[in-house]
């Protein structure tokens, strides 16, 4: 037993107070430590102690409020089917409600003198309220049993009161006539309000489906079947049957079924759906591949290393769902208001009724009644409840599509407040591994070949392929493209296949080996000279120059004579300098931290355009540096990729990990850049600004709508202008206010972030 976290679908929510009631009720249950309800995604994220409270008890708690909790995992097809059925049902109820409402409106407005007109309207109104709009009354009743109210309560009170008042006047008109009042009926208000609200919910549901398209696209990226080689036999099986260690066969054009490593073949992989990068990535044996990415050119055999919920795609989906289910601080105000909004509105409606009953003695009760009903109808807090979660769903989904993972909504909101960015050097600003930057040749020996057909670059490749030093791989990668074959030599298949003998490695110094009678030394100058090799003066001068540029220098000698100098460095990533410039243009102060020497750190800082840097920093010093910036009043975002960055990532207001880094760094961060590209940092920052701006716009219009319309509905303009808001128009305005908020959030999908 112990702590359990789950994300479950909730059916039946219609407004902010619905979500608030579920959250309040669940949070009050013993054993539940966290409950976040998202109205836009219709989901609840619950963290509970399974030894104290069971999932069945949680289901019953939600059910008692009039909602349904779906706890089983739904496939993409099931999600779509449920949404389609729900949308179809809403559409049908709206059409039928309108069909019954239209004749009611015509009789009330045009043909009100026809015989038995009131009774005909009564008969037509009953199915609208009792069947097409029955959910309003069912949920309102269940909420009343808990002494709570929501938007359905407002609708039920407003339409129910209008119907009962009208039905009484239709069946017993003489009651008001004897007292000097005209027995007005408001069947058209009750039917049209229900119709407009159903229509608004239909459009709202269609719009809300678009806000979750990003997560649905992610869910749809996976494959259903895979070709698996077991015991030498190829079989096609369901993806759920794959186990770690299986060999998967992927043909050109097919998606990779699971995370793993190439064991045979070569191909270019389109990883854009995971990383957001459009350029295919070449994969050789030993290279990792990500499930759901597309194999483009060659056939591959891949050993499955992560399957099911362990794959990167599954983790991304889970992180996005959890982030969408979390709440931003900006939403707390809306939640607090929504919690008390409905009772306040009911109070305002009662005061409106009393006030007009006293001040309008001629019209009396009917006038007061209409004003109270209009207040109840127009005050629905739907827009208020949708303002934040719809924008967050679109923003977080767009981030995931761009290769940016955000752990929670609070991080997305906080990120836009950042005033200082602290960048780790290695692996963040730089590539993170040594690259060959310069080669100085002795022109007389560069293309000399040995008896085996190897030129000097080929000899370097053959020898360094046997070394595990970080420089060795850089030399192999660089010189592999420089090899030449002795013209006319057919005895040797490929350059680089000469036989290496007598290989010796001196840790931290260099290597020595023989190829067909030629002795090679590759290493530092001190190692070369101790080995008896001569270094020409021109090479000594070049070495000094390269070291002044913070380069590491490797000497290559053949038969005791140095024939080449190779400079290596951890170079700045192609997009880093541009990203830094864009961050600075946005008003952020950029800092660089590194454990490397002052010379190397200063050189990288200059190359990347960073004015503030600190070299030779330990993990503790990095954390202290971030702490000092915070004490100076900066809102600090720290970007890193290594274990040594974890303390600083945790100390920062916002920790950002490069997806190419360690798991510990990623766990310590609130935002992860999957591709490890600093330009994605700019994208994330712009998206944060755009999302928070959209939330503020939504909240402004939601508050503005209620602040302006409730007094108008109560009749404050009537004494001055004679204008009294019709309940039918109130229903239409309320319904479409929600649609406008969702539509504004959807604009984020087309927002340019470059």
Among 406, 370, 488, CA closest to 687? 406
DSSP labels for 26-86?
HHTSTTEEEEEEETTTTEEEEEEETTTS-HHHHHHHHHHTT-EEE-SPPPHHHHHHHHHHH
Q: Answer whether residue 343 shows pLDDT above 70.
A: yes
The pLDDT value given to residue 706: 77
Cβ–Cβ < 8 Å for 322, 408: yes
3-class DSSP assignment, residue 136: helix
Q: Answer whether residue 1 shows pLDDT above 70.
A: no
Both structure tokens of 537: 């003066």
More confident site: 51 or 273: 51
The pLDDT value given to residue 100: 96
* pLDDT band at residue 380 using 50, 70 and 90 as cut-offs: low
pLDDT in tens, 195-222: 877 887 787 677 666 656 656 666 677 7
Rounded mean pLDDT, 19-25: 84
Helix (H) or strand (E) holding 281: strand 281-283
Least confidently predicted of 177-191, 207-221, 526-540, 709-723: 207-221
The pLDDT value given to residue 485: 39
Both structure tokens of 533: 């090799």
Q: b/e map of 525-544 (b: 16 or more CB within 10 Å)? A: bebbeebebebeeebeebbe
What count of other Cβ atoms lies within 10 Å of the Cβ of residue 474? 22
3-class DSSP assignment, residue 259: strand
The pLDDT value given to residue 328: 64
Both structure tokens of 589: 């102060």
pTM (whole model) above 0.85: no
Half-sphere exposure of 16 (CA within 13 A, CB side): 27
Q: Answer whether residue 510 shows pLDDT above 60.
A: yes
With a pLDDT cut of 70, the percent of the chain lying above it is 84
* pLDDT band at residue 494 using 50, 70 and 90 as cut-offs: very low
Cβ–Cβ < 8 Å for 591, 628: no
To which residue do tokens 């259903």 refer? 224
Q: In sequence order, which residues have a C-beta less than 8 Å from that of residue 602 and are 6 or more positions away?
A: 550, 613, 615
Rounded mean pLDDT, 180-203: 79
Q: Answer whether residue 245 shows pLDDT above 60.
A: yes
Cβ–Cβ < 8 Å for 209, 83: yes
pLDDT in tens, 542-595: 888 888 777 889 999 998 888 889 998 888 888 899 999 999 999 999 999 987
| d(C-alpha 658, C-alpha 676), whole Å | 4
DSSP labels for 452-474?
TSBBHHHHHHHHHTT--SHHHHH
Among 674, 630, 638, CA closest to 656? 638
The pLDDT value given to residue 246: 93
Q: What is the mean pLDDT of the chain?
A: 82
Helix (H) or strand (E) holding 559: none
pLDDT in tens, 60-108: 999 888 888 988 877 667 777 887 888 899 899 999 999 999 999 899 8
With 0-12 / 13-18 / 19 or more C-beta atoms within 10 angstroms meaning exposed / middle / buried, residue 602 is middle
Q: In sequence order, which residues have a C-beta less than 8 Å from that of residue 137 and are 6 or more positions away?
A: 129, 152, 156, 160
Q: Active-site positions?
A: 424
| d(C-alpha 79, C-alpha 406), whole Å | 23
| d(C-alpha 626, C-alpha 638), whole Å | 8
Rounded mean pLDDT, 100-120: 90
Cβ–Cβ < 8 Å for 258, 311: yes
The number of residues in the chain equals 754
Angle at alpha carbon of residue 571, lines to 567 and 572, rounded to 5° = 155
Q: Taken in order 608, 395, 272, 671, is the CA torsion positive or negative?
A: positive
| d(C-alpha 191, C-alpha 132), whole Å | 10
């Amino acid at each position: 037993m112990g702590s359990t976290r789950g994300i479950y679908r909730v059916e039946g929510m219609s407004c902010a107070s619905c979500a608030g009631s579920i959250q309040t009720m669940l949070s009050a249950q013993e054993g539940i430590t966290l409950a976040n309800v998202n109205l836009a995604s219709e989901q609840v994220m619950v963290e509970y102690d399974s030894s104290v409270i069971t999932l069945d008890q949680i289901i019953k708690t939600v059910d008692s409020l009039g909602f349904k909790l779906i706890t089983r995992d739904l496939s993409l097809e099931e999600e779509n089917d449920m949404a389609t059925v729900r949308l179809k049902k809403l559409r049908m109820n709206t059409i039928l409600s309108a069909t019954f409402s239209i004749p009611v409106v015509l009789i009330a407005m045009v043909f009100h003198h026809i015989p038995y007109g009131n009774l005909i309207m009564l008969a037509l109104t009953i199915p609208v309220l009792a069947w097409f709009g029955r959910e309003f009354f069912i949920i309102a009743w269940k909420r009343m049993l808990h002494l709570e109210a929501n938007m359905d309560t407002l609708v039920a009170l407003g339409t129910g009161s209008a119907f009962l008042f009208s039905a009484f006047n239709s069946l017993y008109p003489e009651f008001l006539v004897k007292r000097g009042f005209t027995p007005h009926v408001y069947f058209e208000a009750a039917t049209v309000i229900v119709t407009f609200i159903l229509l608004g919910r239909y459009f709202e549901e269609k719009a809300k489906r678009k806000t979750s398209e990003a997560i649905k696209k992610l869910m749809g990226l996976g494959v259903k079947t895979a070709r698996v080689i077991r015991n030498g036999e190829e079989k096609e099986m369901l993806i759920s049957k794959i186990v770690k260690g299986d060999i998967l066969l992927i043909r050109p054009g097919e998606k990779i079924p699971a995370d793993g490593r190439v064991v045979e073949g070569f191909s270019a992989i389109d990883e854009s759906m995971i990383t957001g990068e459009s350029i295919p990535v070449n994969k050789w044996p030993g290279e990792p591949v990500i499930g759901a990415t597309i194999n483009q050119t060659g056939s591959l055999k891949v050993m499955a290393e992560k399957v099911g919920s362990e794959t990167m795609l599954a983790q991304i989906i889970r992180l996005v769902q959890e982030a969408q289910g979390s709440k931003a601080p900006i939403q707390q105000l809306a939640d607090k208001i929504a919690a008390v909004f409905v009772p306040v509105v009911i109070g305002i409606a009662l005061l409106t009724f009393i006030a007009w009953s006293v001040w309008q003695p001629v019209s009396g009760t009917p006038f007061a009644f209409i004003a109270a009903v209009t207040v109840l109808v127009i005050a629905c807090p739907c827009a208020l409840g949708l303002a934040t979660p719809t924008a967050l769903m679109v923003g977080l989904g767009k981030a995931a599509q761009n290769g940016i993972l955000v752990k929670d909504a609070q991080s997305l909101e906080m990120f836009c407040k950042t005033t200082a960015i602290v960048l780790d050097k290695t692996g963040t600003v730089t590539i993170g591994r040594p690259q060959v930057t310069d080669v100085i040749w002795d022109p007389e020996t560069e293309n000399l070949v040995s008896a085996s057909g190897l030129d000097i670059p080929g000899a370097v490749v053959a020898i360094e392929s046997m070394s595990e030093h970080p420089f060795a791989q850089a030399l192999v990668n660089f010189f592999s493209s420089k090899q030449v074959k002795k013209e006319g030599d057919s005895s040797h298949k490929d350059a680089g296949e000469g036989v290496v003998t007598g290989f010796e490695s001196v840790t931290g110094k260099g290597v020595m080996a023989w190829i067909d009678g030629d002795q090679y030394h590759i290493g530092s100058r001190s190692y070369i000279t101790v080995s008896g090799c001569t270094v020409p003066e021109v090479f000594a001068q070049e070495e000094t120059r390269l070291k002044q540029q913070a380069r590491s220098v490797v000497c290559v000698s053949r038969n005791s004579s140095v024939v080449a100098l190779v400079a290596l460095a951890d170079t700045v990533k192609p997009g880093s300098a541009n990203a830094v410039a864009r961050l600075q243009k946005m008003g952020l102060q950029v800092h660089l931290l590194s454990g490397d020497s002052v010379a190397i750190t200063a050189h990288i800082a200059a190359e990347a355009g960073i004015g503030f840097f600190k070299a030779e920093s330990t993990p503790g010093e990095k954390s202290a540096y971030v702490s000092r910036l915070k004490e100076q009043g900066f809102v600090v975002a720290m970007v890193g990729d290594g274990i040594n960055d974890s303390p600083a990532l945790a100390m920062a207001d916002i920790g950002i990990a490069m997806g190419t880094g360690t798991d510990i760094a990623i766990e310590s961060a609130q935002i992860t850049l999957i591709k490890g590209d600093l330009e994605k940092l700019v994208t994330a920052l712009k998206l944060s600004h755009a999302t928070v701006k959209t939330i503020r716009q939504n909240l402004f219009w939601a508050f503005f709508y209620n602040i302006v319309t409730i007094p108008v509905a109560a009749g404050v303009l009537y004494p001055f202008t004679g204008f009294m808001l019709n309940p039918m128009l109130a229903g239409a305005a309320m319904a479409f206010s929600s649609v406008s908020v969702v539509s504004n959030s959807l604009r984020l999908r087309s927002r340019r972030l470059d």
